[in-house]
Structure 1
Amino acid sequence: MTWLDLAWASTIAAAIMVLPGLLLARVVGLRGAWMWGLSAPFSVTAIALAALVAPFIGLTWSWVPALLFTVVLALALWAARRLTASRRGGAAAASDSAPTQGAWSASSNAGNAGMWAFGVGVLLAAVVIGIRSVQIVGEPGGISQTFDNIYHLNAVRYILDTGSGSPLDVGAMTSGALWFYPVGWHDVATLVVQLTGVTIPVAVNATWITFSAVAWPLGIVLLARALGGTKPSVAFAAGLAAASIPAFPYLLVDYGVLYPYHAGVALVPAAVAATVALFRLGRESTGLDPVWSTVVLAGALPALALTHPGAFMAWLAFSLPIAVVALIRLLRSGAAARERVIAIIGFVVYLGVGLVAIRVLRPPLEATLWPAIGLAGQALGEVITVSMYHTPIAEVVAIAMIAGVVFAAMRRRPADWVAISLLVVAGSLYIVVAGVSSATIRNLITASWYNNTPRLAALVAVAIVPLAAIGVASLWEKLAATGTYTRLVTNRGRVLQAAVATLAVLLLGLSMQGRSITGAIDGAADGYRFTDDARLLSPDELQLLEELPGLVPEDVAVAGSAWTGAGLAYAIADRRVLMPHTLMDISEEVGTIYDELDEPGAGAELCAALEAENVGFVLDFGSREVHGGKHDYTGFDELATSESVELVREIGDARLYEITACGGLR
């Protein structure tokens, strides 16, 4: 595969991630930046729900059910819009062509005002993140040499094989008891494979790069615009800051690797912006009434929940201060007693639902045993200096964020309080997970994110970007208002103003891409390289997997330890493996094979197991494991001298054996 293949796959991934959502956003009445900013979560909602519904109507997973569901959903929303418009009479009908009325007119015009600046801000982030992402992967088919990636790569193959991308089905790849697994990210990656014909590693890279360089900029620049206003400086600064924080989008494509959660976090800002708009706390509105603003938010949330529950819980955490600010604003507004009572009851119900979600949407206790990585004071310092998870300090972003906090506190508008409160929430969560040792406190507050520090570090970035944009825009406004600037620049014409602004954007972008980002990219890149001491696959092992289709018949299964990378024969070579992941239920037959294969004189039990699983080959990738652990499968200990197998291909230390025990394959 070449870089052109990755570019083509990324283009298709971007189309998948944007076009369905643009249609749905247009239908519900969104325009301008709101339409583009919410396109990614709307698209993922449509795709994930289509994958869920497809098996029930007899369709295998492909672009067909995705397109059908999007069109049907769009028609239903269009009909609902027409129905509500006809019931409200001429004024509501006119809202389809002029999205807002009365007091909303000025703010709704801002939905299109500054649209060019929104586009430039998104483009700045997309270009920088795209370049950095290519530096990370190193080659089009480079894979993250990490533990979780075994599952993610193989899950894409499993969807292709079974024809189902439903979250009710995909979990069966590793456990029949796993009745639900969120696969929104995997559904998108599978569509990329189907529509382009690229290999799974290339499609996976295209998918995560597109979530990083398309979905994330669209959503975070929208959120910055909602909280900081429509001035070009806000959008430009947001785009540059979005590409300049190590904790996101770079950390989560290195650590784990947490592709689904990474995708979910990329979608969170758009959902938060929709929440701000629903409560009318932003610097501009969507132009929709409360009913359709609720529909907009409801359209974004399934994308989060069906991509990763941790992303939904992130939205829930960020929505708390928004709801509090909205309630305080209403209680102070002199609203009627009935409205106040309804608002208070609604807030109590919201808190109740949130508490239930905290209890339900959390992993098992044994999966939340990640310890704190330091002290609370240290964690606070990392938030202030934008150095979460012990990365080098992002000096320029930190200065911009602090300036944003100061200016927002001075202005004290609802949008400013929301911006500050988002940082308080995200920062508090990070301090708890990174700096509090009490298991009771951590399980109460951060268990929804596995008590895992990198996951909460990423959420801090969501709160930092809008404040950094506010800080930069406010400082620029102060500079532009000085007499010196007016005399030297403003009074000399628009060409000079544009040149100075362009130079300022360039210098700001370069200064933000300092050693913190360089270190993050270099560290992540190390985890994507095929080297002799790679944690998952060495160059020899990769070459053997790529040759496997010519050595192993299509219908024959391959044994081998998933911990050594042998399980990736499924994703890379399209050959069924007995262990598609390290953490999975092992059947009695598979256990017998893994315990007894190399023993002399194969017994009836082993022969029955080989026949039941139709196993004909075994991969031996040595004893080096992805986490540096040691998992003994005694049936593979002495393959080199066993009479039960015969060497077929050897590349360095990577070996493929054909199983000759019990007469081999019949």
Structure 2
Amino acid sequence: MSWFASIPVGLVCVAWLLVPGLLVTYPIGLRGIAAWAVAPIVTVAITASFAVVAGKAGISWSVGAVVMACAAVAIVIGGGAFLLRRRVRAREPDPRRLTLAALLGLVVAAILGAIAFARGAGEPESISQTFDGVFHYNAVASILDSGNASSLTLGSLGSPGIPPAFYPGAWHDLVSLVVLSGVASVPVATNLMAATVALVLWPLSCLLLARQIFGRSPAALAVTGVVSIGFGAYPWGLLSFGVLWPNLLGMSLAPASLGAVLSLFGVAREDAIGRGRAWLLLPVILVALALGHPNVLFSVAALSIFPVGTMLLRRAWRRPWRGLAEIAGAVAVLLLGWWWAATTPALATVRTMPWPPVTTPGHAAGEVLSNAAPGYDPLWVLSALVLVGVVYCLWRSGWRWLVGGQVLSAALYVVSAGVNKPSTYKFTGYWYNDSHRLAAMIPITAVPLTVAALLLLVALVRRVLPRAQEVLVASILGAILLAVTGGLYVRSHISILAGHYTKAAGEPGNRLFDARERAFFARIQHELPAGAKVAGNPWNGSVLLWALYDRPVLIPNLVIATTPDQDYLSAHLIDAAADPRVCEIANRLGVGYLVVTDNLFWPGSPETAKYPGLADPGNRPGFRLVDADGPDKLYQLTACGR
């Protein structure tokens, strides 16, 4: 499939992400940028919540069921809004020139981002050659096979005998809906959904935050979309590292969620949401972020400290004693929440995830200043603009909280990248102590800081040329920015993405499979009966037969918990002709085939050696060679009468 031919898949992704939410945001009175940027939050909350309810109720996951659920929510919300139409009026629409300015920036961002994504990924069917990618691909396959998309059970990937485990499933729910819509395979749906989240949702979300900070400023909105895709740490970092697609989805909702927080506490300028609607949206945001990826909840909560503090200081200035009491109460709530998060067993596994320091604290601080975190190319022009924005926002009282948020994100990154030891887990543990996830927080405030710097330049130009239109000046400055940064560092973004797509595919040891193996897997899918389970060392790429070709595998992930039955076959399957227990387990699990290859992902890992029973049986009795291409072989298990 060509990228041009994949455009309909992209449109389906956009529809699934926006339409369910728009059916709610417009009836509750949101308009323009606010309606469109909040819509994905509502969509994620509705679809992921319905997945949980459907799983409990035994309702099979399908396009029809989700459409009915979304329609029901829209009807209820719409009916309530109609009854309250006299008491709750719609927000005043933004001027058309404001919307057009925002749209201009979005289009430019989408084009530049699409070029980088297409060249970095290679082709729509490309596989992310990453450790976490295996789980995410097969999680979608599990949903498609089982009809259960609930986050409460997704963590076990439907493996028989493994207790259901929680994993935030919003990403996998949405990708599965694209596949069920009949327009794409799992890899294509995954790639196009990732591109849509990074190049449509993230810029939209940043636009709402900019709208809440800078008000009805056409200049600000004209450049926000473009600036939003310039930083390597996000979205490009989470498109590549891990790969962390659920985190990518959750983080794309963070700026819009923070924009709602500004409404909630009266810090927004020319508020596009309203305090009442912000309170109404608060539980929706909490659900969306929790089921998108919970660590984004901590990101939004941490950044919210500063606008909330701004509101409390303003109140204290007007009413000192009452204000001081409110500040004391807020500090107590903050410390209590922090104590709970730092001690609760529910977060113990996440909080104590061991990551060694990857650099020194000084070097990590340098990466923040040059926007090279975590270890990418320095972005000198954007970095200079961020620093100008910091100085400018310190001068402007309504924007100072942005500087606090930037400093906090930077400090958390420096601690995770340059220190990272048990004593620091109480600060960085809510992001798995992972410097990549914390680096992705930085652009949430770096984008509006850059926009603030460009607004300062616009103001300076208009002092010299008072008749120059604000949007025109901003557009020219944006064009200059694109020119001097090579399209906002397109080459750097291609390199980041290619590191785990096209480049990794050519590096033995860093790839799940190469082109030869993938061609072999594509061929043997027609030789494997539907429903027949395939055994294979999960570290040799055969683990993705489930996601790629709908052929279930014995062990669907690299380090997921396994059952005694799976462990026994992993150690003894090649002894099937001599060991009756092998056939007993194989028949119970439905294992009828074995795939072997000479390629191993991360061959130096001791995990790859835990499957001696899944090695090439050669001439051992009990196996029949079905197909082969050099070292890649498919055997049928004949010893067990299947």
Is the Cα contact below 8 Å between 2:406 and 2:442 reproduced in 1? Answer: yes
Post-superposition offset of 1:242: 1.1
Structure 1 residue aligned with 2:405: 422
Q: Per the alignment, in what secondary structure is the counterpart of residue 592 of structure 2?
A: strand
**Cα separation, 1, equivalents of 2:70 and 2:251:** 23
Distance across 1 between alignment mates of 2:631 and 2:25:
54
Q: Is structure 2 residue 117 aligned with structure 1 residue 133?
A: yes
> 2:457 matched to 1:475?
yes
1:164 counterpart = 2:148: yes
Check if 1:457 corresponds to 2:439.
Answer: yes
Q: How does 1:380-529 map to 2 (within 5 A)?
A: 380-413=365-398, 416-441=399-424, 443-482=425-464, 485-486=465-466, 490=467, 502-513=475-486, 517-529=490-502
State which of 84, 88, 100 in structure 2 corresponds to 1:116: 100
Look up the SS of the partner of 2:628 in the other structure: strand
Q: Is the 8 A contact 2:149 2:169 kept in 1?
A: yes
Matched residues in 1 for 2:429 and 2:206: separation?
Answer: 25
1:627: how far off?
6.2
Aligned to 1:90: none
Tell me the residue number matched to 1:96. Answer: 89
Q: What are the Cα deviations for residues 372-404 of structure 1, in whole angstroms up to 9, with x where unaligned?
A: 222222222221211111212101111111111
SS across alignment from 1:647: strand
Q: Quick one: structure 1 residues 525 and 554, their matched pair in 2 at CA, closer, same or farther if it must change by over 3 Å?
A: same
| Farther-moved stretch of structure 1 (637-646 vs 377-386) | 637-646
Structure 1 window deviating more from structure 2 (641-650 vs 192-201): it is 641-650
CA distance in 1: counterparts of 2:109 and 2:630, whole angstroms: 42
CA drift of 1:520 comes to: 3.7
Aligned to 1:571: 547
* Cα distance per residue 1:549-571 (max 9 Å; x no partner): 31011121100011111111111
Q: 1:636 aligns with which of 614, 621, 624?
A: 614
CA-to-partner distance for each residue in 1:7-43, whole Å, 9 max, x for gaps?
A: 2111101111111111211122211211112111111
Alignment of 1:218-233 (within 5 A): 218-233=204-219
CA–CA distance in structure 2, aligned partners of residues 205 and 423 of structure 1: 30
1:378 maps onto 2:351 in alignment: no
Correspondence 1:270 to 2:256: yes
- SS at 2:634 equivalent: strand
> In the TM superposition, what is the alpha-carbon distance from 1:659 to its structure 2 partner?
1.5
Paired position in structure 2 for 1:55: 55
| Aligned residues of 1:557 and 1:614 also touching (Cα < 8 A) | yes
State yes or no: 1:300 paired with 2:285. yes
The amino acid across from 2:587 in the alignment is: E
Compute the TM-score of the two structures, normalised by the length of structure 2: 0.93
Moved more, 585-594 or 564-573: 585-594
The alignment partner of 1:648 has SS state of strand
Taking the aligned partners of 1:35 and 1:396, their CA distance within structure 2 comes to 33
**SS at 2:135 equivalent:** helix
Secondary structure of the corresponding residue to residue 661 of structure 1: coil
Equivalent in 576, 592, 595 of residue 619 of structure 1 = 595
How many percent identity over aligned positions? 27
Amino acid at match of 2:302: A
Matched residues in 2 for 1:480 and 1:319: separation?
34
Pairwise CA distance, 1:531: 3.6
Instruction: Give CA deviations for 1:335-389 in whole Å, capped at 9, x if unaligned.
Output: 884x875675466335534543454463516961111222222222221211111
CA contact (8 A) 1:536 1:625 kept: yes
Which residue matches 1:596?
A: 572
Stretch of structure 1 that moved more, 597-606 or 613-622: 597-606
Distance 1:566 1:466 in 2: 45
Structure 1 segments unaligned to the other structure (5+ residues): 86-92, 100-107
- Structure 1 pair 572–461 and aligned structure 2 pair: CA distance change class (3 A): same
- Whole-Å separation in 1 of the counterparts to 2:330 and 2:23: 32
Give the secondary-structure state (helix, strand or coil) at the position aligned to 1:18.
Answer: helix
Q: Which residue of 2 is the match for residue 103 of structure 1?
A: none
Separation (CA, whole Å) in 2 of partners of 1:154 and 1:604 = 30
Show the 5 A alignment for 1:220-259.
Answer: 220-259=206-245
Is the 8 Å Cα contact of residues 219 and 471 (structure 2) preserved in structure 1? Answer: no
Partner Cα distance (1:240, 1:510) in 2: 13
Question: Are 1:394 and 1:514, in contact at CA under 8 Å, matched by a contact in 2?
Answer: no
Q: Is the 8 A contact 1:217 1:239 kept in 2?
A: yes
Q: Secondary structure at the match of 1:579?
A: coil
Cα-to-partner distance string for 1:438-465 (whole Å, 9 max, x where unaligned): 4212x10001111111111111111100
Q: In 1, are the aligned partners of 2:140 and 2:186 still within 8 Å (CA)?
A: yes
Out of 174, 179, 182, the residue aligned to residue 193 of structure 1 is 179
Alpha-carbon contact 1:170-1:181 (below 8 Å) kept: yes
Structure 1 counterpart SS, 2:543: helix
> Within 1, Cα distance between the matches of 2:483 and 2:443?
19
Partners of 2:234 and 2:261 in 1: CA distance = 22
SS in 2 for 1:187: helix
SS in structure 2 at match of 1:389: coil
Could you tell which deviates more after superposition, 467-476 or 597-606? 597-606
Which residue is equivalent to 2:304? 319
- Structure 1 residues 165 and 349: alpha-carbon distance in aligned structure 2, compared to 1, 3 A threshold: same
Q: What amino acid is aligned across from residue 409 of structure 2 in structure 1? A: A
| Contact 2:12–2:178 (CA under 8 A) maintained in structure 1 | yes
3-state SS of 1:191 partner? helix
CA spacing shift, 1:134–1:540, aligned 2, 3 Å: same
Instruction: Write out aligned runs for 1:602-613 (5 A).
Output: 602-613=578-589
Return closer, same or farther for 1:239/1:359 CA change in 2, 3 Å cut-off. Answer: farther
Q: Distance in 1 between matches of 2:629 and 2:496?
A: 28
Check whether the contact 1:362–1:449 (CA below 8 A) recurs between aligned residues.
no
Trace 1:362-373 onto structure 2 (pairs within 5 A).
362=347, 364=349, 368-373=353-358
Counterpart contact for 1:20–1:42, Cα < 8 Å: yes
Q: Is the 8 A contact 2:21 2:39 kept in 1?
A: yes
Task: Report deviation, 1:574.
Answer: 0.7
> Counterparts of 2:412 and 2:317 in 1: how far apart (Å)?
29
1:556 is aligned, of 526, 532, 540, to 532
- Which secondary structure state, in structure 2, belongs to the residue aligned with residue 427 of structure 1? helix
Is the deviation greater in 547-556 or in 570-579?
547-556
Please say if residues 226 and 273 of structure 1, whose CA atoms lie closer than 8 Å, have aligned partners that are also in contact: yes
Length, aligned pairs only:
634
Query: Which deviates more, 149-158 or 355-364?
Result: 355-364
How far residue 203 of structure 1 moved from its aligned partner, in angstroms, is 0.5
**Code of the aligned partner of 2:128:** S
Partners in 1 of 2:342 and 2:181 — Cα distance? 38
Cα deviation code 1:162-200 (max 9, x no counterpart): 111111122232573343111000000000001133111
Equivalent position SS for 2:529: coil
Which of these residues, 133, 143, 152, is aligned with residue 149 of structure 1? 133
In structure 2, do the counterparts of structure 1 residues 236 and 112 end up closer, same or farther at CA, with 3 Å as the change threshold? closer
What's the counterpart of residue 104 of structure 1?
Answer: none
TM-score scaled to structure 1, two decimals?
A: 0.89
Report the equivalent of 1:210.
Answer: 196
Asked if 2 retains the 8 angstrom alpha-carbon contact of 1:537 and 1:564, the reply is yes
Distance change >3 Å, CA 205–CA 314, structure 1 → 2: same
Q: Matched residues in 1 for 2:446 and 2:478: separation?
A: 19
Tell me, yes or no, if the aligned pair for 1:597 and 1:644 is still in contact at 8 Å.
no
Q: Any conservation in 1 of the 2:222–2:471 contact (CA below 8 Å)?
A: no
Question: Distance between the aligned counterparts of 2:12 and 2:603, measured in 1?
Answer: 34
* Alignment CA distance shift 1:561-1:600 (3 Å): closer
1:297 positional shift: 2.9
The answer to whether the 8 A contact 2:546-2:552 is kept is: yes
Cα–Cα, structure 1 residues 54 and 324, in superposed 2: closer, same or farther, change >3 Å?
Answer: same
